[in-house]
Structure 1
Amino acid sequence: MPSPDAALAPREQSRRLAMIGGSLGNLVEWYDWFVYASFALYFAGNFFPNDNPTAQLMNTAGIFAVGFLMRPVGGWLLGRAADRHGRKSALTLTVTLMSAAALLIALAPTYGQAGYLGAGVLLVARLLQGLSIGGEYAASATYLTEAADRNKRGLGSSYQYVSMTAGQLLGLGMLIVMQRTLTTEQISTWGWRVPFLLGAVFAVVVFWLRRRLHETEAFAEQQRADAGRQAGAGERGTMKALWEHRREALLVIALTLGGTLAYYTYTTYLTKYLIGSAGMHKNTATLVSFTALTLYACLQPLFGMLSDRVGRRPLLIGFGVGCAVGTYPIMTALGGVTSFWPALGLSVLALTIVSGYTSISAVVKAELFPTRVRALGVALPYAIANALFGGTAEYVALWFKDGGHETYFFWYVSGCALISLVAYVLMPDTRAAAMSRREAEDDDRGVRGPDRRPLPLDAADAADAADTSGAAGAAGTAGTAGTA
């Protein structure tokens, strides 16, 4: 008779493969997304008149922000697809869209070749990227959270930002290599196209990898439950179902706005700030960002594991307090440094504070919703907050700078963090959430991790459970600890 450890081995192996497959795909998605910001300093002059360098950056930053406007649309369309047809199919679709967008940017004509046509192609590509990323965040957050062991969900979901950051590091690494092998003129004229071409190729490889992923247990349970329910799959991923969880959706917006603004301030905008405001050399500023992000990626699993022990709220509250109080002094100090080590120390300090949000961002949101609307519940409200605050961070910062009031942006970041802090203090801790019927049944039998409490089912799933008592696959549970 096989031992319990032998019986658990296939499940553990499947979870590891899910973590690897989901994370690699996420890495390439975010590489394509962030490489735009990494190389904007070099290709900005190719698509707009070159009489005002700040105006060029504002135009490219504006197109960067427009990509965020498509994220709510992508969140709705692809979040719905993930809830109706599975996490795997949505993940495959997002990487297909991203590959097409990267290819468009790589082949876009310059202002000298076709006037504003090149900027138009750039805009279309960013819209496609926004559509893709809008669904990617929710699909990967849901997939990684559902695929992880219950007592290690914080750790498992932390790999979302590890892979996101790895994608950005890959883009920055590409930039560092080019800065050391090509002249500035060569990068500005043709070298910037290379990372986008590689991004399109990477995406094709990931498409093949994602086709080989297995669906999550929670979604498979939901499918089996819907097969015996009158309404069936028609309820999954609908706005009507999301409306039933509107309180959780509003909570996602509130807890996201401060975190996403801080994240983009200290990642995509940091290099430009060090160059444009601190007067640092491009190569040094890029190296600061690369090193700081490498250390930041290493912090995510540590913070994720900590949340599995102490809960999600303490980390979120720590971020909210640190960001609200620390943004102005950190950014002011960064504006006065010109050498590598002081800039690196301040950047790492800022990103350590931000880790209290980013390391558990995915798991907190996923734990708020039942299986049948989890991807849409994560995707749409997150994408709205991200479009309004994260996507506009760089543009708002440059707008304040252009108006001679650069420090106003620091107070803006602190104020948004303060709003999110109120949400963190008032929200329940979601660590105890049961993500599937099997986990809820474990709760009922007393088979649960430390400090786990059984949670009530979503109303529709509870009715289904009553009608199909004893059936093998029942619906997912509501993931809100506050309703316990």
Structure 2
Amino acid sequence: MSQTATVQPVTRHLRQIVASGVGNAVEWYDWYVYSFLATVFAPQIFHAGNSTADVLSAFAVFAASFLLRPIGGLLVGNLADRIGRKNTLVLTISTMGLGSLIVGLTPTFEAVGVWAPIILVFGRLISGLSVGGEFAANTVFLVESAPPNRRGFYSSFQYVSTTLGQLLASGLAALLVNILSPADMSAWGWRIPFIVGALLSLVGLWIRRGTEETLVVKAITERPKLFDALVKYPKPSLLIIGVTIAGTILYYTWTTYLATYVPANGGVNSGQFLIISTIALFFFMVIQPVIGILSDRWGRKPFLIACAGIFALGIVPALSLFSHSEFAGTLVITLLGMLVLSGFTAISAAVNAEIIPTHVRSAGIGFPYSLTVALFGGTAPFVGTLLKSWGVPGYFGWYVAALCVVSLLVYIFALKETAHKPLPE
């Protein structure tokens, strides 16, 4: 085989990964900019007169936008099963850019009154619809682009790109917080990351238009109907829910809610934790492919079981330790959590794709996954903040631990090892 023939497949696969990843990074950059800056812009938009009420309102919108994710997963996922993954991914990155732009240009409550939160909600709902469809198409696109013995490795780039977007969000937020005065940050500085996100979406759109389609439609195959995945494959749909519960609550707890929880309860301030978060996210991004490669060799189940089991036992002590830790201790705890969490994130795309057949794969993953994320992941910051306002912040750790136990039972007793089997047709 010539060197040219060897290089061409490598280049093609790399192009598929980059095309998928750049759009995914932009999608999640916008998502996490909102969570990082919620405490800054909430008083400008909601104007409740109470800082806790304003933050609760901002996180309620964050949670509400997740409610459209299952709809996006179903509608856009079915679209990906019908017209292909590539065209669908172009659509999702375009709508995410629009949602980000709307939020960045939202007028203040003082300027337009109640229309301010209405406009903000509209922008976030567009983003929620887009992200639900994004995961449905992007997960399948990545795994279908992979050689059979590298699906875990390719799967890991789902969260490599997600984390890259989050790093950009965290880094830009930290930069703005440290160079702008609190008054400037509150008045106009918080808008900058959202407008940057809208511009970055144009880059993602351009790159995705050059990717290759992975869906092969057979001439005799009937185009799937909207609810075919749920009606014809109910057990795989339920299995995806069980697989996802622990991973999503852990992911949003560790990468989103900690930005609010630690400064309020720990020994570091918001600026310091943004630095910790940036370091931890970089580590998290680097470790993903390693776990993905190991899962291709050792299987998916050991990593899923380890992730859910360790957090089930350790989440309550870990959250308690944050209350007594300074910068170094907080960084160590955060890094250890990221390492354990990688047991789910690096391989979740592969696990989901290996559960359900090709012709309904995007919708079959998109709806149950996004529904689970909406119920347990998107609500994590709100539940944590609400429990704190009730004077029982410690209950949040037990809530997370209980959900980890649910998925742990699924991993042990219901999930079959799929790493070394072909994708279901």
TM-score of the aligned structures, taking structure 2 as reference length: 0.97
Q: Which residue of 2 aligns with 1:274?
A: 262
Larger Rg: 1
Q: Deviation per CA, 1:437-478: give whole Å up to 9, x if none.
A: xxxxxxxxxxxxxxxxxxxxxxxxxxxxxxxxxxxxxxxx34
Q: Which residue of 1 aligns with 2:384?
A: 397
Q: Which residue of 1 aligns with 2:88?
A: 90
User: How far apart are 1:279 and its partner, in Å?
Assistant: 5.1
Are the counterparts in 1 of residues 149 and 420 from structure 2 also a CA contact under 8 Å?
no
Q: Which residue of 1 aligns with 2:29?
A: 31
User: 292, 310, 315: which one pairs with 2:303?
Assistant: 315
User: 267, 274, 290: which one pairs with 1:286?
Assistant: 274
Q: Which residue of 2 aligns with 1:376?
A: 363
User: How far apart are 1:50 and its partner, in Å?
Assistant: 4.8
User: How far apart are 1:7 and its partner, in Å?
Assistant: 4.0
For the structure 1 residues 4 and 151, does the alpha-carbon distance in structure 2 shift closer, same or farther, using more than 3 Å as the test? farther
Aligned-residue RMSD, C-alpha: 1.3
Q: Distance in 2 between matches of 1:289 and 1:7?
A: 42
User: How far apart are 1:254 and its partner, in Å?
Assistant: 0.6
User: How far apart are 1:370 and its partner, in Å?
Assistant: 1.3
Q: Secondary structure at the match of 2:256?
A: coil
Are the counterparts in 2 of residues 84 and 233 from structure 1 also a CA contact under 8 Å?
no
Aligned letter for 1:313? K
For the structure 1 residues 173 and 237, does the alpha-carbon distance in structure 2 shift closer, same or farther, using more than 3 Å as the test? farther
Aligned letter for 2:383? V
Percent same amino acid at aligned positions? 38
Aligned letter for 2:249? L
Which runs of structure 2 are paired with 1:75-474 in the superposition (5 Å)?
75-216=73-214, 219-220=215-216, 223=217, 225=218, 227=219, 229=220, 232-234=221-223, 236=224, 238-278=226-266, 280-337=268-325, 339-426=326-413, 427-435=415-423
Q: Secondary structure at the match of 2:86?
A: helix
Q: Which residue of 2 aligns with 1:68?
A: 66
User: How far apart are 1:198 and its partner, in Å?
Assistant: 0.8
Q: Secondary structure at the match of 2:210?
A: coil
Q: Secondary structure at the match of 1:51?
A: coil
Are the counterparts in 2 of residues 237 and 375 from structure 1 also a CA contact under 8 Å?
no
Aligned letter for 2:332? G
For the structure 1 residues 243 and 8, does the alpha-carbon distance in structure 2 shift closer, same or farther, using more than 3 Å as the test? farther
Q: Distance in 2 between matches of 1:9 and 1:190?
A: 48
Q: Distance in 2 between matches of 1:322 and 1:84?
A: 40
Aligned letter for 1:336? H
Are the counterparts in 1 of residues 75 and 226 from structure 2 also a CA contact under 8 Å?
no
Q: Deviation per CA, 1:26-84: give whole Å up to 9, x if none.
A: 10111011110111121011012252111111100000000100000000111001110
Q: Distance in 2 between matches of 1:287 and 1:9?
A: 39
Answer 1 or 2: higher relative contact order, Cα 8 Å, separation at least 6.
2
Aligned letter for 1:401? K
Aligned letter for 1:369? I
For the structure 1 residues 9 and 233, does the alpha-carbon distance in structure 2 shift closer, same or farther, using more than 3 Å as the test? farther
TM-score of the aligned structures, taking structure 1 as reference length: 0.86
For the structure 1 residues 241 and 403, does the alpha-carbon distance in structure 2 shift closer, same or farther, using more than 3 Å as the test? closer
Aligned letter for 1:365? N
Q: Distance in 1 between matches of 2:247 and 2:2?
A: 41
Q: Distance in 1 between matches of 2:419 and 2:6?
A: 23
User: How far apart are 1:4 and its partner, in Å?
Assistant: 6.9
Q: Which residue of 2 aligns with 1:444?
A: none
